[in-house]
Amino acid sequence: MDFLTESNMWLLYLGLFIGPFVQEDSAVIGAASLSITKSDHWISIFAVVLAGLITSDSWKYWLGWAAKHHKWASKYAKNERMLKLKDAVLDHSIKTLIAVRFLPFARIPTYLATGFFGVPYIKYWCSIAFSAFLYVITIFCAFHILGEILGEKLKTYMPFVAVGILITVLLSLFIRKKFKKT
């Protein structure tokens, strides 16, 4: 990242903020590995990727909220299974919103459901902000601790290891889902 001078750091921060809108996990892992190589900027890298993560999740509530105001959605809302789900989401919304941050493929449907079922937005937002903080700090700590333990060579190869792990996880999830359908 030597091509980024201090005057062009805003480009890096813009990319870190927009990254979670594209793919959250990759953005956080990329930011954590970048914070090791740009250690003098790690606090601002942490803050920007966290702000991007919270912002990218904040608007998903409103999609569920907007859906419940359409006629086609009212027939789903009256379904017996949906009423049970609504009770579960409303009764355990904070625990659910914190837990789904760490569950693949559960985050977006849950965020939409909270808007659809009318969980108060402040409760939604505080829960996703807290879970985002936990998630980002966990990834950053893991990268920094491994960097300290394993030394300077790992700092050079950590981004490649992170990308390899991410590709492996995504590929295994894809294969699992593909063979489960057939």
In a domain, 39, yes or no: yes
Report pLDDT digits (tens) over 11-54. 888 888 998 888 888 889 888 888 887 777 788 899 999 999 99
Please give the model's pTM, rounded to 2 decimal places: 0.74
As for how many domains the chain has, the answer is 1
What pLDDT does residue 129 have?
Answer: 95
Concatenate the DSSP letters of all residues of 97-133 into one string: HHHGGGSTTTHHHHHHHHHHHT--HHHHHHHHHHHHH
Residue 182: is its pLDDT beyond 60? no
Report pLDDT digits (tens) over 110-159. 888 888 888 999 999 999 999 999 999 999 988 888 777 666 666 667 67
Report pLDDT digits (tens) over 55-67. 999 998 898 888 8
Whole-angstrom CA distances from 180 to 68, 106, 170, 175 are 31, 17, 15, 8
What pLDDT does residue 142 have?
Answer: 87
In a domain, 31, yes or no: yes
117/112 Cα distance (integer angstroms): 9
In a domain, 103, yes or no: yes
In a domain, 66, yes or no: yes
141/148 Cα distance (integer angstroms): 10
Residue 162: is its pLDDT beyond 60? yes
Exposure of 9 in the CB half-sphere (CA atoms within 13 A): 12
Whether 34 contacts 156, CB under 8 Å: no
In the numeric block, the tokens 């977006």 are attached to 108
19/13 Cα distance (integer angstroms): 10
Whether 52 contacts 16, CB under 8 Å: yes
Of residues 175 and 80, which shows the higher confidence score?
175
Range of the domain at 84: 6-181
- What single letter denotes the amino acid at residue 53? L
In a domain, 162, yes or no: yes
171/165 Cα distance (integer angstroms): 10
Whether 21 contacts 49, CB under 8 Å: no
Whole-angstrom CA distances from 14 to 2, 27, 45, 59, 114 are 17, 12, 10, 19, 29
Mean pLDDT of 93-121: 87
Whether 130 contacts 122, CB under 8 Å: no
In a domain, 1, yes or no: no
